[in-house]
Chain A
Amino acid sequence: MLKVYLFIQYKYYKHVYPPDFAYYIPNSIYEAVDFLGRYDNARPLAGGQSLLPMLKLRLLNVDYIVDLNPLKELDYVSLNKDYMEIGALTRYYEVLKSSIVNEKLPLLSMVIRKVGDMQVRNMGTIAGSLANADPASDTCAVTLVFDADIVTTSSSGNRVIKARDFFKGPFTTALAKDEIVTAIRYPILEGYKFNFVKVVRRAGDYPLVSVAVAVKLKDGVIEDLRLGYAGVSQTPYRPFEVEKSFIGKSLKDSIEDIVSKVVEGVNPPSDTRGSSSYRKEVMRNVTRKALREVMG
């Protein structure tokens, strides 16, 4: 009986719509942030690959949508002396197509090639993922590995927020109400080895746990170590203290130590993807695998 009931419910409530909202098309970045500041419960729309599902599932309600898509000036990739700048409206597709990104930021390519599926990457943007701040987002985690500069604009001007200061909690960032991300600057990490290991329940899903690794070695000794996790905490997670404590040590001899230390600082959430203790176990495993592979 229950099954039949659920089936009927599913059948009739299946086609989900976003709630009614007002829709604003700005002509400039200034108009967009000005509007966001003046109207309550207004949100920017980029690729819509998180915003629309969240609206449809009523995880979120908005009164005004400010469509950033007409702001073509935010769609670019440019290489500067020691960083790569990616405009807020650049789709994942374009980032992956860019040969300079593949050459200069191999870790970023490695990670975002595995974000969602092709259709999602054809619409979605890095900036949208950062602003969304899903604790399970690999894009947020890898941006934290780079400790990228997140460039923003609001009615009161521009500022730069370090990735490590950007994520404040699940789906919560340092952005003000009238502030949008306009670009992300990824520093070019020279002389590093990179790896990315992601565990998913089904193809195309957010990770249960993933880790992005950047490590700089000299004769097998760690000069710099960066580990960025998705799915293990309220925000993307980097064990800064643990990373620091292994500088100057041999990577080969430290892997098991690192594996046991990284889980100490986290209390992962339990949800439909997995329980807290399972996530910790997976966190240990992806760390071990990622570091062993880096060793070659």
Chain B
Amino acid sequence: MGVLANKGEKVKVRVRVNGVWYERYVSPRMLLVDFLRDELGLTGTKVGCDTTTCGACTVIMNGRSVKSCTVLAVQANGADILTIEGLAQDSKLHPIQQAFMDNFALQCGYCTPGMIMQTYFLLKENPNPTEEEIRDGLHGNICRCTGYQNIINAVKDAAGRMRS
């Protein structure tokens, strides 16, 4: 028989975030982004539009980028999740983070965690993207500050660093 959680009841969710397993009891309507931010305290992932448009909440779930404001925490049960906090290794920035810094690809920085996670997915799928492919890959992420040009440069730069 299937499992039913009635209204008001909580459901057990077990997820591996940045290499660590967590277990929490949550309401089925809890969104993944709030699970990460409020339950686990990982506030690097941002909420912008909250309506699947801006990409600020992008995280990697089972190897693919998702907008975590549009995924239920219960849908992530058993999943492997990577957030912006999981990229740096031994206090050394990930090449994508370094490329964003070096290319001035951020101003206020609000869109940046989402941009970087989407770039992470894009470069995993396509290690040597053309400019058009970069623009297509990032169009689900909105930036109100930079005018995108430096972001595109950063992604090209990051691609080069990661290939070498």
Contacts and interface: CB of A to CB of B under 8 A. Distances in A.
Interface of A: 14-27, 31-32, 35, 45, 48-49, 52-53, 56-57, 63, 65, 67, 69, 93, 116-120, 122-123, 203-204
B137 interface: yes
A25 B51 contact: no
Nearest to B117: A119
A194 to B, nearest CB: 20
A117 B140 contact: yes
B161 interface: no
Contact of B52 (A14, A31, A53, A203): A53
A120 B71 CA distance: 10
A17 B29 contact: yes
B75 A18 contact: no
A265 B113 CA distance: 48
B4 interface: yes
Contacts of B29: 17-21
A93 B64 contact: yes
16 contacts: A15-B50, A19-B29, A24-B5, A31-B1, A31-B2, A45-B72, A52-B52, A53-B70, A56-B51, A63-B7, A65-B28, A93-B64, A116-B140, A117-B139, A117-B140, A123-B71
A23 B47 contact: no
Nearest to B60: A122
B42 interface: no
B81 to A, nearest CB: 13
Nearest to B49: A14
B66 interface: yes
A67 B74 contact: yes
A93 B139 CA distance: 16
A204 B3 contact: no
A284 B154 CA distance: 40
Given A22-B9, A122-B121, A123-B71, 13 more contacts: A19-B29, A24-B3, A25-B2, A32-B2, A48-B71, A52-B31, A56-B51, A65-B28, A69-B75, A116-B140, A119-B118, A123-B66, A203-B139
A15 B75 CA distance: 20
Interface string B38-67: 000000000100111101001000001111
Given A31-B2, A118-B137, A67 B75 contact: yes
Contacts of A122: 64-66, 121
